Each structure stands twice: as C-alpha cells, then as structure tokens.
Amino acid sequence: MAPTGFDLFSDRSVVAMRVDGVLKDLAATVTGEEVVEPVGIDSPDGLAILRHSTAHVLAQAVQTVNPEARLGIGPPIEDGFYYDFRIDEPLTPEDLKTISKEMERIQRAGQRFVRRVVTEDEARAELAAEPFKLELIGLKGAAADGRDGEGVEVGAGELTIYDNVDPRTGDTVWKDLCRGPHLPSTRMIGNGWALQRVAGAYWRGSERNPQLQRVYGTAWPSKDELRAYQERLEEAAKRDHRRLGRELDLFSFPEEIGSGLSVWHPKGGIIRHEMESHARRRHLAEGYSVVYTPHISKADLFATSGHLSTYADGMWPPLRMDEERDADGAVTKAGVDYYLKPMNCPMHILIYRERPRSYRDLPLRLTENGTVYRNELSGALHGLTRVRGFTQDDAHLFVTPEQLEEEVAKVLEFVLSLLRDFGLTDFELELSMRDDEKSKWIGSEAYWASSTDALRKVALASGLKLTEVPGEAAFYGPKIDLKVRDALGRTWQLSTVQVDPNLPERFGLEYTAADGSKQRPIMIHRALMGSIERFFAILLEHYAGAFPVWLAPVQAVGVPIADHHVPYLESVFDRLRATGVRAEVDASDERMQKKIRAASLQKVPYTIIAGDQDEAAGTVSFRLRDGSQDNGVPVEEAIARITAAIEAKAQV
C-alpha cells in the first residue's frame, strides 16, 4: 500500500505536506517518486491551513446553532480567517460566544477532515441547499471550459468536498466544498484562536450582490502566540492617531462642521506648522516655486481636465451661482456651477499657461500645499487617514521629454531625503505600468516604453526594493509609488510620482524649443507626504505621540520642586524660549510628582526639574521620556543640549 504523509512525518507540528510543490493533506498518498516536504504549523502555509480549518469549524458551528445559515466563503487571511454567511437574524456578540462554545465542542470531538473528489453533478446534488456554493461550482465549471483564460490552471484540478468525520462513529457530521488542504483533525486547532467581530460583506465583493454577514477570527499555533497577537493589537490601539489626537489635544472633527473635516488645535497646529515649513524650505532650496490657488472653480476647468466626466461621483456637488428665476420659478438667467477642487493640477496648469513658455523656463516646478475636497463615502471615512477635505503637498513639474528621466530621478531622491528628515527610513518602490489590454491606455507605444523605462531606471538606481505591477498605471502614464514601513511594521503608501502627457494635451500646453518650434511639455505629478493630514496621522502612530524634539509641540516643561523655585526656573526658561525652544514652566499648584506625571503623559521630550540644590549650583536636572535622569546639568550646557537636539532633528 502506498505510504501517506502520516507514514512519512511523525512530528506532530507537521500539519500538511508539499508534494512536488503542491500542498496536500497528510492523508494523501505518495509514490516515492515525488519530492515531498513537510509543512509545519509555524510556516506561512501551515498557519494558513490552521486558519482555514478553523474557519471550517466556525462554519460548522454556525450551522449547528442556526441551521438556516447559508455558507459563503471562508478563507484564511493575514493573522486569521473569516467566513461569510447569509443569516436572516443579524449575529450579535452574544451569538459569537455561543458559536465559540460550539466550536470548542467540535474541536473536542476530534473530527477528521476527509478529502473527497466529486464530479460537478455530485457536488450540485450534495450542496443543493447552498446557493452560494452552487454559484462557485458554476464558476469553476466555466473556468474548466477554458472560457476564462486564467481559470485553466485552477480548472484543471478536481472539485473536492471535505467531510468532517466523527472518529468514533465514522459518520460524516458536516461537509463543505473546499480545495483544501486541511489539518488532519479539528483537535489540532488547539486553543490559540478567537472570534473577533462580525461585519457586513458583499458576496464576491460586489455591491450589486447580496450582503452577507462576515465573522472574523484569528488563529495561532498556541495560546501564547494568540496572546502575543492580541497584545500587538492593543499596542496598535494605544497608538491609534484618533486616540492620541484627543489625549494630546492635537485635532478634532467637530460634528457642527461636518464629517471628515478636521480642525487643528494649537498643539497639533504647531507640529503641522513645523512639518510644513521644513518641507517648504527644502522645496525652495530644490528649485521649486511656491504657488497658491483657490479652493473652488467653475465647472469648465474640471470639464477640460476630464475630472468632471470621469470622477464626478467623487466630487462635492456643485454650488450654483448667479442663477435668476421669475416669480414662477422658471430660470430667466442660467447660473454657473462652481466645484470644490478635488485636485490642484488644473489650477497649476493655468499658471503655466498664463504666459508663453520657453524651453529655458523648464523644468518649471510649482508646489502648493493645496487643500482639496473629495466626496468620500460616509462609510469610508476614518480619522485623519480618510477625510473629505485634506491638504496635498502637491507639486507639478513641467519638463521637456528629454528632461523627464533626470527630473524624475531628482524628484525621487528629494522625496526620500525629505521623508528621512521626518525619521522614516524603511522604503520600497512600486512601478505601475500598462499591460497589454490596449483599450485601457492612451498614448503611443513609444511614449509608454520610454517613460516606463525612465521610471524603472530611476527606481533601480535608488537601490530600494522594487516591485513592478503591470496594469496598475494611470490611463495616461506610468507611476512610481513609494511605500514606507512604520515602527509597527505596517506599510503605508505615501509618495507618488506620475508621468502625465494627457493634461498638457487637454490644456494645449506648449513651450518654444531652441529651434523656435512649439513643443508640448510633459507633466510630472508628485505628492510627497500625499495628504498632509494622513502623513501626520502616520507619523503620530509611528512615534506613538512621542515626536522627535523638533516636532514636539512642547519641547521642555519646567518642574519646580517648590513654589519658590519658580523664578529661578523661569530665568532658565526665558533663555530657552529666547533661542526658539517651545518651553513652559509648570507653575500650577500641584505636587512636583504630579507635574512630572502630567509632562510624561503629554510625551514632552524634556522635563527640567530644579530645587534648592540646582538653584544653588546654577544647574538643572533632566528627566527624559524613558524615565532616565541626568541631574545637576549646568544651565549653559542644558540649553545647548536641547537646542542641539532640535537642530539635529534628534529623537530623545
């Protein structure tokens, strides 16, 4: 008899195997000809299998508790799994407890996951009560027919059903259409899992389809790993910028103003001001010109740019100006529609077009922190990262085709350098290109080839990790996106550099070349932080509120040991403030311990303490955010230390 994975691997942490590169259940047989590798539960594949099997147990539990529940899909995802159900009554947190109990019961029963190959007709008969599964069978059938190009590989495989078999009776207690593989038994799931929440999700991701109830869960090889994961979530929650924004009094979203529209409090305002003014100084040094444009414009501008035809849904509704009506309400004079701007580029283009341009003017680099308004879906709004009004640190560079590559290189170098100033260091690039689906793209083959090539060269020269993604380009040109990894290891897409010959075309932009001919410039769209609000949120979470000294809203707080030390501390702090340090003495009627605690909760970089000893010696005592002390520092040195840290953009 041919051996199975169970014969080959006795180690209990092996949950599946890879046979000639294909994942299989341990129960599968091998001939001895293949290359067979064990899949440990700790490996990425093993974890996915664990989570997938847990999702199955969830589904079985839901159908046990509520036999009316119909099954959607239940795949493993990062850190966990989900399963979608159609249930008439919405699931409550109480239901999750009941379901968890049932899942534990299924685990204890030690049901075996048994793979069974079925024909399409058999599958349809067995799953007649599961409309969504039938739909999946139909999709797979279509793929097998070769009608869907990418389905060939998938379609070549068989339809399989996994039976959950009671080991004592040998009865099949539950089954599900599934490709597998699975753990050998429900018992191997262990106790490292938890159900997390319920959410709505459209069937197969389309809002035209019915909305199902999705149960999210997480699963790990052990309870300890589950706890560690839960602690990571708690740590992330503590850093949530919405929470820190409130605790540190940085910004808010007054209901009276409207959803997704932020106001910046003094402490948030000073941080943002420092960020913006530093960036602006560097832009000026880099040959950019600062421009300002209004927040609204007549509809024509966005008709010319094309935004109104392709993006009207994402724009705020128009404001109608100067319309006149008679007593009956009939229009006697047509009004003009104005729109809040969703992008700055059309206005920058108008600045370019304001006078004839020569090749000597190029590259022309226009930059603006331009506030734009987009009508985001209410359900998509999220703190500062997804809002309806935000400020782009936008730039539009007008170049000759010959200048494109060199200019893109300079932009990328500049972007990286400026992001490093903010303490971000871990970057990756993504090059979005066209694919072969010709109808989607405008512009010549030669243009795509040369511009994509220019971006690729620049990206490779940066030495950063580069991923090429065909098909992801804008319809008019390729782009480079820059992703950054934060202190928690999460990646954020920040900067983007896009090549665009389309808008210059639409607006008929020209420059006079050296030979006197009229030529069309190419435009480079470039956002660096992207949205300043979102960038701020990312930095806030990256630093957990403990900003580097130059960004900290209050850089030093003075804590007198007793009231009569206030004048001495004030004399030191007067000098600090004179050098531009944001420094305040806490002269309130509180215990010094409490003042230290307050400064600490506000994440102030330097707490400066002085009592009799310091006053007598002409020194102060430092307390840093990590609780460390440096006592008896001469005033002169203390001031130098703080100003040096600000100057160096140091973290302390």
Binding mask 542-581 for RNA (x = CB under 7 A): -------------------xxxx-----------------
Shortest Å, Cβ 406 to RNA: 25
Closest distance of CB 491 from RNA, Å: 14
To the nearest whole angstrom, how small is the minimum distance from the Cβ of residue 345 to RNA? 10
Determine how β-strand 511-512 pairs with β-strand 518-519: antiparallel
Give yes or no for residue 358 binding RNA (CB under 7 A): no
Q: Name the E strands within 234-335.
A: 251-252, 263-264, 289-290, 296-298, 319-321, 324-325, 331-333
Closest by CA to 12, choosing from 34, 47, 39, is 39
Residue 396 touching RNA (CB under 7 A): no
Known catalytic membership, residue 525:
yes
Asked if residue 491 binds RNA (CB under 7 A), the reply is no
**Residues of span 184-203 touching RNA by CB under 7 A:** 197-202
CA distances from 582 to 549, 573, 575 (A): 10, 9, 11
> How many other C-beta atoms are found inside a 10 Å radius of the C-beta of residue 407?
23
Measured from the CB atom, the residue of 47 and 546 that comes closer to RNA is 546
345 noted as active-site residue: yes
Catalytic residue among 341, 345, 481, 614: 345
Distances (CA, A) of 539 to 199, 243, 278, 551: 29, 14, 15, 10
Spatial separation of the C-alpha atoms in residues 553 and 265, rounded to whole Å: 11
Examine the residue annotation and report whether 394 is marked as an active-site residue of this protein.
Answer: yes
Cβ nearer to RNA, comparing 113 with 492: 492
Q: Mask of contacts with RNA, 601-630, x by CB under 7 A? A: x-----x-xxxxxxx-----x-x---x-x-
Q: For RNA, which is the closer residue by CB, 182 or 267? A: 267
What is the total count of residues that contact RNA (CB under 7 A)? 70
Q: Which of 379, 463, 489, 516 binds RNA (CB under 7 A)?
A: 379
The helix (run of H) or strand (run of E) holding residue 310 is: helix 307-311
User: Catalytic one among 365, 374, 565, 603?
Assistant: 374
138-146, 318-326, 359-367, 369-377 -> range binding RNA (CB under 7 A):
369-377
Burial tier of 577 (Cβ tally within 10 Å: 0-12, 13-18, 19+): middle
AA identity, residue 112: R
Single residue of 73, 144, 219, 343 touching RNA by CB under 7 A: 343
Tell me which of 259, 277, 289, 425 binds RNA, using CB under 7 A.
Answer: 259
Nearer to RNA among residue 169 and residue 588 (C-beta) = 588
Which one of residues 154, 228, 380, 514 is an interface residue with RNA (CB under 7 A)?
A: 380
* Residue 479 annotated in active site: yes
- Single out the catalytic residue among 112, 267, 525, 623: 525
* Cβ closest to RNA, residue 453 vs residue 475: 475
Q: 273: helix, coil or strand?
A: helix
Q: Which of 392, 403, 555, 602 is catalytic?
A: 392
Tokens standing for residue 330 = 């009939």
Tell me the per-residue interface mask from 216 to 235 with RNA, x by CB under 7 A, - otherwise.
x-------------------
Pick 253 or 398: Cβ nearer RNA:
253
- Annotation says 238 is catalytic: no
Q: Which of 307, 396, 565, 623 does the annotation list as catalytic?
A: 396
Interacting stretch for RNA, rule CB under 7 A, among 9-17, 265-273, 380-388, 570-578? 380-388
With CB under 7 A as the contact rule, the residue among 53, 107, 213, 495 that binds RNA is 213
Q: Please confirm whether the linkage preceding 478 is cis (ω < 30° from 0).
A: no
- Note whether 588 binds RNA by CB under 7 A: yes
Calpha distance 635→645 (Å, rounded): 16
In the complex, least distance from residue 61 CB atom to RNA, rounded to whole angstroms? 18
Please give the Cα distance from 81 to 49 (Å, whole number): 10
Q: For RNA, which stretch binds (CB under 7 A), given 357-365, 413-421, 512-520, 582-590?
A: 582-590
Instruction: In angstroms, give the least distance from the CB of 132 to RNA.
Output: 14
Residues between 103 and 132 that touch RNA (CB under 7 A)? none
587 near RNA (CB under 7 A): no
Give dist(CA 61, CA 463) in Å, integer.
Answer: 50
411 burial type by CB count under 10 A (0-12 exposed, 13-18 middle, 19+ buried): buried
For 126-155, the DSSP string reads HTTT-HHHHHHHHHHHHHHTT-STTHHHHH
Closest CA to 85 of 124, 137, 123, 131: 131
Task: Return the structure tokens found at 359.
Answer: 């090749």
| Separation between Cα atoms, residue 62 and residue 59, nearest integer Å | 5
In DSSP notation, 162-186 reads EEEE-TTT--EEEEEE------SBG
The residue whose two tokens read 């207690």 is 173
Sheet with 491-500, edge to edge strand ranges: 289-290, 364-373, 389-399, 522-531, 491-500, 479-485, 426-433, 465-470
Binding site for RNA (CB under 7 A): 90, 92, 197-202, 205-207, 211, 213-214, 216, 242, 246, 253, 255, 258-260, 307, 310-311, 314-315, 342-343, 372, 374, 376-383, 474-475, 561-564, 588-594, 596-597, 600-601, 607, 609-615, 621, 623, 627, 629, 631-632
**Residues with a known catalytic role:** 345, 374, 392, 394, 396, 479, 525
